[in-house]
Structure 1
């Protein structure tokens, strides 16, 4: 399987492991879901580490920082029409390409949907920075 070059803003299919699931001693995400690459770090020895934020259909509680994904963006991504949110206080980090990337059904083995529009990605990145600045973020390392 050929993997795309990981870049911030790219939406991928990934078995995201929620922080609460890690607390329950789970090592695998229960559901494959779209996630947004929010950070890419190129380390020495050519290793690339990416940070992703999950996209969920479940409406977040009022305490959970999230951005609703506009329907126009969902159409652009080729994703379903149900309401969805990008969760800003949960991230996974892993070495690219990693074992938890998943092929998207009906897309000939592809794991990427497309990119978020730049203005929406800027809002996502700003929201995540704000969450982490206030020490409210939850991170799960997946290597």
Structure 2
């Protein structure tokens, strides 16, 4: 299966590195998980794309202002399990596409599909608000 073209709203399988893991010296995430691409900007003529992803997790947020619950119908459409899922606003990874941490799903594809536009816009707005409030971290995976 080929690697997809990165675009905002695409949900990929990725080895996400939480800031707490990074602070403890980890250089790779403990688990592969679905993550939503929030930024995909071409960098020069070499085909590299600066990419930022937000993790999707089963863990309910300690602070509701840091996450967005994904509706069950959207989870089903993406092929996620039947549990509740949240997209985090306050934890992001930045890397050059495709990077070393993009992972294939068991059936071979690298992506789950696209978030609905309205949900992506809520994600984007939540990230902007979190950044304004100086909540959260962006972990660079290219270092």
Q: TM-score range by the shorter chain?
A: over 0.9
The 5 Å alignment of 1:117-136 reads 117-136=116-135
Counterpart in the other structure of 1:75: 76
Q: Could you tell me how far apart the structure 2 residues matched to 1:118 and 1:12 are? A: 16
Counterpart in the other structure of 2:102: 101
Q: Could you tell me how far apart the structure 2 residues matched to 1:59 and 1:85 are? A: 7
In the alignment, structure 1 segments of 5+ residues that lack a partner are: none
Q: Secondary structure at the match of 1:126?
A: helix
Q: Could you tell me how far apart the structure 2 residues matched to 1:64 and 1:21 are? A: 22
Would you say the 8 A contact 1:64–1:89 is kept in 2?
Answer: no
TM-score normalised per structure 1: 0.95
Would you say the 8 A contact 1:13–1:33 is kept in 2?
Answer: yes
In the alignment, structure 2 segments of 5+ residues that lack a partner are: none
Counterpart in the other structure of 1:37: 37
The structure with more strand, counted as a fraction of residues: 2
Deviation above 2 Å: which 4+ runs of structure 1?
none
Counterpart in the other structure of 1:142: 141
Q: Could you tell me how far apart the structure 2 residues matched to 1:71 and 1:37 are? A: 20
Q: Secondary structure at the match of 1:140?
A: strand
Q: Could you tell me how far apart the structure 2 residues matched to 1:111 and 1:35 are? A: 11
Work out whether 1:20 is the aligned partner of 2:29: no
Q: Could you tell me how far apart the structure 2 residues matched to 1:4 and 1:103 are? A: 11
1:64–1:29 distance in 2 versus 1, CA, 3 Å: farther
Q: Could you tell me how far apart the structure 2 residues matched to 1:31 and 1:54 are? A: 11
| CA displacement at 1:64 relative to structure 2 | 5.7
Counterpart in the other structure of 1:6: 6
